[in-house]
Chains A and B, each alone.
Chain A
Amino acid sequence: MAPTLVVIPMGFTAANTFQFPPSDWTLDRYSSLFSDPAWFDALKTSVIVAVLVTALATVLGTAAAFGLSRSRFRMKPAISAVLLVPMVVPTVVVAIAIYAIFLKWRFVGTLHGFVLAHTLLALPFVFVPVTASLQTFDRRLERAAASLGAPPLRAFLQVTLPSIRSGVLTGALFAFITSFDELVVSLFLGTATVRTLPVQMYGSVTREIDPTVAAASTVTLLLTTTLLLAVLFRPQREAVL
């Protein structure tokens, strides 16, 4: 953890280099993060993509975990394994595969391109915690609801969903962070006009030495750490992890 913290003082450097510790201090890096269109648009794209991915991956992942936990058939372990495959395939391989297809479909540099690619990477991160919390869920509660006349959808929304809430919440958080931080696939999908924040940061480290990257790092660090600690140390029951 500690090594990462050097980005915070770097965010206030006045020099046009990555000199550490900074010799002069300024807030210019933060103002350019929010005023320079290249940085601000990237930040905006990242947030929009991450929110859409969170919604899509959470719904699809929860539905899949729920459907699978309620089914009994021989192919079941195989299907769970298939849903987890995106986690174990090397990212470069996923990236060039998606890039090739998206080039053909003209999805490169589009919002839906980013959303679809990130959703795919985020799905396992929703599926795993939701499946875990469904395992501890007492299905007799659902049966009780059904015996009192609740249709399956209503029983799910009013009985099951509230009890597996912590798994769903954890999955949604993981989906958001997965999308917000994704870099390798995004490097291929990003263009000069439509790119996410990590791609902009990558460019500013490799091509121009632009210390705005430190301000962007600090903002990212604050956002993800706050979200994570909020979920990890939330007052109710133990986090599903």
Chain B
Amino acid sequence: MTVSPQDGGGRPSGGARLRGLGGRAWIPLVLPALLILAVFFFYPLAEIVRRSFAEIAPPGTSPFGNYQWFFDTPANLTILRRTIVTAVAVTAACLLVAYPYAYLMTVVGRRTRAVLLALVLVPFWTSLMVRNFAWIVLLQDQGPVNDALAAVGVGRQRLIGNVSGVTIAMIQILLPFATLPIYAVLRGIDRRLLQAAQSLGAPPWRAFLKVYLPLSAPGILAGALIVFVISLGFYVTPALLGSPTNALISQFIFIQVSTLLDWGRGGAMAVVLLVVAMVLIGLGSLAARRGQSRLSTGIDPA
């Protein structure tokens, strides 16, 4: 995710014998992994792209027929818009919860931090199916959440089979994806900078806004990007807690392929989703790299 493997072989090697083993001698070890990825990942993806152009409903029309169909059908655009709106809402909510939590993790003692970290990691690695099932139990019409809403006088709400249930569950499920990268960045911020700002007369909130927040931007960006991209392609939660009439794009792709067996159209939608995700990730890492070089050269236009 945000962990990018860096150059591990940077240290100059001593001894002629070992220098001979450096360079390219170890590349064969990487090949089996690359081979598996090539055969079972990149080749299938390429096939999906090919079929999205090759398998067109009335044969003989333009190779872009499936894409034209996708962007010319109002129902499809409604689904795309609903998917993006849900992803934006989930991302915003995750950031609002994750940032203070990650901040808390940087100011508490070692032991409390370990507990807080475990509270993030355990759900992170808890079965998706289990967590979705738990949300079904909680949000169902006669479930505990509705009982509570009725008790405080709000009245029972329909929380399953629509976008609200999907959004609530997705926020809880994707929260660790925002918390972990934000925490990784906050941990590295030198808190003495805040003291410096305050000693120069900035009130605490101002020191936070002008010093701390900009320094934490890479973490916010990484967290937001990961949550947003995963939300766009999320299948299980919308399928279990949503409904076909409120479908998100992933459910629609699933139906095209598994029920309608329309690999051309399903493939075209998958390619649209893939391109959106890749473009966002590309822009995000570009922005991150820019921010980094600005920090290291000390030139900060802000």
Interface of A toward B, CB cutoff 8 Å: 1, 3-7, 10, 18-21, 60-61, 63-73, 76, 79-101, 116-117, 119-120, 123, 127-128, 131-132, 134-135, 139, 143, 146-147, 152, 174, 177, 180-181, 183-184, 188, 198, 201-202, 205-206, 213-214, 217, 220-221, 224-225, 228-229, 232-233, 241
Contacts and interface: CB of A to CB of B under 8 A. Distances in A.
Interface of B: 1, 3-9, 11, 13-15, 17-18, 21-30, 32-34, 36-37, 40-41, 43-45, 47-48, 51, 114, 117-119, 121-123, 125-138, 140, 142-144, 172, 229-230, 232-236, 239-240, 250, 253-254, 257-258, 263, 266-267, 270, 273-274, 277-278, 281
Contact of B15 (A21, A128, A143): A143
A100 B262 CA distance: 11
B274 A7 contact: no
Contact of A101 (B47, B130, B239): B47
Contact of A90 (B131, B233, B257): B233
The majority secondary structure among interface residues of chain A is helix
A181 B128 contact: yes
27 contacts: A1-B123, A3-B131, A6-B137, A7-B134, A21-B144, A60-B36, A64-B32, A67-B30, A68-B5, A70-B21, A81-B4, A86-B37, A90-B250, A92-B250, A93-B48, A96-B48, A100-B48, A101-B40, A128-B3, A135-B6, A146-B15, A177-B125, A183-B129, A184-B236, A206-B239, A221-B130, A224-B126
B129 A217 contact: yes
A63 B29 CA distance: 5
A202 B266 contact: no
A4 B266 contact: no
Central interface residue in A100, A134, A177, by most chain B CB within 10 Å: A100
A215 to B, nearest CB: 11
A100 B37 contact: no
B140 to A, nearest CB: 6
A205 B133 contact: yes
A155 to B, nearest CB: 10
A152 B28 CA distance: 14
Contact of B40 (A67, A116, A135, A139): A116
A220 B122 CA distance: 12
